[in-house]
């Protein structure tokens, strides 16, 4: 069986590590993987370091798309991916998440009838103003095999016309359509499989402690700290929202050290979207550590040792939960509703009052119970087994 895997953004590179590792370990004689990097993230600190650090096979193709408007970027990727699919003739194209690379892969594959595997299917923020929401919906409805990490994702797909049975997370759930067992775009199959990022977090957790010295390097060994990440354009591109978040960080730094790896977008817009007074406060505060983007292993180490995580990243929200850390979410909604429902995360948006209220809540009553809602750490193997089964039946 031949797979073409599409990656383009940093989280997709990390997720792909779990699938590539499982292929190498368990299915090397049965599965060939062709990796296509769209170049959506082209900064070495945001991309190349992850291939080197996580042992991911280097891409067979790189489209070098780079930064552009949504339309231009997606069009370039669609054209390049279609050309590769026609050349390689894979059994499946594997798409992750909800980026422009995901959308481009879905459109290119669906038009020439290459079956689509969507990993992280069924996630919904119910906010179609988010480009990611459009991307994930389109990809789901173009897909042949849909792997959803949570029960909420399963219910979302059910509401959108993917009828499923209710017999358990490891059981095949087949959408309505022809009675044949062969999965197609008109007869897709849905699986609740657990989260592939949980696979990675378990696998790399101890490795991170051995291979990184970031805790020592930042002198964090004996000091409690808040780990913060800000990258979403709905926060960085709006001065009033970015200012509210950084005013909160300044207040938090009066009680606890704050470590903030700066995404390139955030670093650029700090100087244009914050007033000079706020900038001076941020850059002069000894209790705020502004650092360059970190590697995946460094991020895991920072998450494991943090007192609390504050983020607008969907992936970092989950990782905070994996490592049993409370999380303040800098968005009005989240696709990972379970972590809010369990009481281990709070939706604070870019609201200074709500951020500080969430901090006081977690400081006074830190969560101690983190139910197992993201699977058993073997999602990648499960997915590959189902792909092989589907390919055999075709």
Residue positions annotated with a catalytic role: 231
Residue 163 to residue 270: CA distance in whole angstroms: 46
Answer positive or negative: Cα dihedral of 227, 228, 231, 234. positive
Residue 103 to residue 6: CA distance in whole angstroms: 10
Q: Two tokens at 114? A: 């290459």
Mapped onto helix, strand or coil, the DSSP state of residue 386 is helix
Under a CB-based contact definition with an 8 Å cutoff, are residues 369 and 184 in contact?
A: no
Pairing relation of β-strands 2-7 and 145-148?
unpaired
Q: Two tokens at 14? A: 């990390």
> Percent helix, strand and coil across the chain, each rounded to 5?
50, 15, 35
Mapped onto helix, strand or coil, the DSSP state of residue 188 is coil
CB burial of 178-209 (b: ≥16 within 10 Å; e: otherwise) equals eeeeebebebbbbbbbbbbbbbbbeebbeebe
């Amino acid at each position: 069986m031949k797979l073409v895997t599409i990656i383009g953004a940093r989280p997709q590179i990390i997720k792909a590590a779990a699938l590539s590792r499982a292929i190498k370990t368990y299915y090397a004689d049965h599965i060939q993987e062709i990796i296509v990097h769209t170049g959506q993230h082209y900064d070495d600190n945001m991309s190349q370091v992850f291939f080197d650090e996580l042992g991911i096979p280097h891409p067979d193709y790189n489209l070098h798309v780079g930064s552009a408007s949504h339309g231009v970027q997606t069009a370039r990727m669609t054209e390049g991916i279609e050309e590769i699919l026609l050349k390689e003739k894979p059994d499946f194209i594997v798409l992750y998440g909800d980026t422009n690379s995901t959308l481009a892969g879905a459109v290119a594959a669906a038009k020439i009838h290459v079956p689509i595997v969507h990993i992280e299917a069924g996630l919904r923020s119910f906010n179609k103003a988010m480009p990611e929401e459009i991307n994930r919906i389109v990809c789901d409805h173009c897909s042949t095999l849909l792997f959803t990490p949570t029960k909420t994702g399963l219910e979302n797909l059910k509401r959108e016309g993917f009828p499923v049975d209710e017999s358990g997370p490891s059981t095949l759930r087949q959408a309505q359509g022809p009675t044949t067992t062969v999965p197609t775009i008109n007869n897709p199959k849905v699986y609740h499989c657990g989260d592939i990022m949980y696979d990675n977090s378990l696998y790399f957790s101890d490795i991170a402690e051995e291979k990184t010295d970031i805790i020592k390097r930042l002198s964090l060994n004996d000091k409690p700290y808040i780990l913060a990440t800000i990258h979403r354009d709905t926060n960085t591109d709006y001065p009033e929202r970015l200012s509210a978040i950084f005013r909160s960080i300044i207040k938090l730094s009066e009680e606890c050290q704050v470590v903030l790896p700066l995404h390139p977008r955030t670093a650029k817009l700090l100087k244009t979207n914050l007033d000079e007074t706020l900038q001076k406060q941020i850059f002069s505060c000894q209790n705020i550590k502004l650092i360059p983007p970190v590697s995946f292993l460094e991020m895991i180490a920072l998450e494991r040792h943090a007192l609390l995580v504050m983020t607008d990243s969907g992936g970092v929200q989950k990782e905070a939960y994996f490592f049993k850390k409370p999380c303040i979410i800098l968005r009005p909604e989240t696709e990972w509703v379970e972590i809010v429902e369990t009481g281990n995360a709070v939706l604070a948006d870019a609201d200074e009052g709500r951020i500080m209220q969430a901090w006081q809540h977690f400081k006074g009553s830190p969560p101690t119970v983190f139910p197992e809602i993201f699977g058993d750490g073997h999602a990648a193997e499960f997915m590959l087994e189902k792909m092989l089964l589907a390919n055999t039946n075709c």
